[in-house]
Amino acid sequence: MELLKLPLALAAVLSVVRIVHFFRARSMRAFAARRGFQYLGPTAPPKWWWNPSHLEIHTPLPGWISRFSPNGQRIRQVWNVIEGKENGISILIFDCIIGGYKGGNPCTLIACHTEQNPFGNVAAVDRVEQAHGWTILHGVWFLWFSWTMGTKWLDGHLCKLQTE
């Protein structure tokens, strides 16, 4: 019986992770539909049980994503990709894993194809960076870790987008 405890615990943890990714993908698809955007997927990290040492992009994202390092940490995986336009600005929204070779942090990025910051003033938990003609908002940062943004936060950021 003792030999079964570890495999059962591991299976339970992996099942919970899959369920969390399922509900996150469902809410991101609903968010995209509500805003008139296109959900490109994939619905979960391609390697949900293991973080690869190199970036794997399975959707049509710009090439600069592979070189972008939010908060100085490289992107390792991308999923839940959404694209659309808001106030005439092309937008990409996606979840990703950022960080070193093992572990890493989940993070949501909102990338706007403009060199001007359309986000205005953002909360201290969010970060704004510029790269390759895009302005990227990422967060939420709390206790030195990043987290994915809920769809209400995404809605709030998109509603506040400013145009020139």
Q: Is residue 95 within 8 Å of residue 107, measured between CB atoms? A: yes
The torsion of the CA quartet 120, 92, 46, 60, rounded to 10 degrees, works out to -150
Q: Are 32 and 38 a contacting pair, CB within 8 Å? A: yes
Q: Give the C-alpha separation, 98 to 51, whole Å.
A: 10
User: Angle at the Cα of 147 (from 121 to 58), degrees rounded to 5?
Assistant: 105
Closest CA to 93 of 44, 34, 32: 32
Residue 85, token pair as written in the block: 């336009």
pTM, full prediction: 0.85
Say if CB 104 and CB 151 are below 8 A apart. Answer: no
What pLDDT tens digit does each residue of the chain (164 aa) get?
A: 778 888 888 888 878 878 888 898 999 999 999 999 999 988 877 665 555 666 666 667 887 888 888 877 888 888 899 999 988 899 999 998 887 666 678 889 999 999 888 988 877 677 888 888 999 998 766 665 667 788 898 998 898 886 65
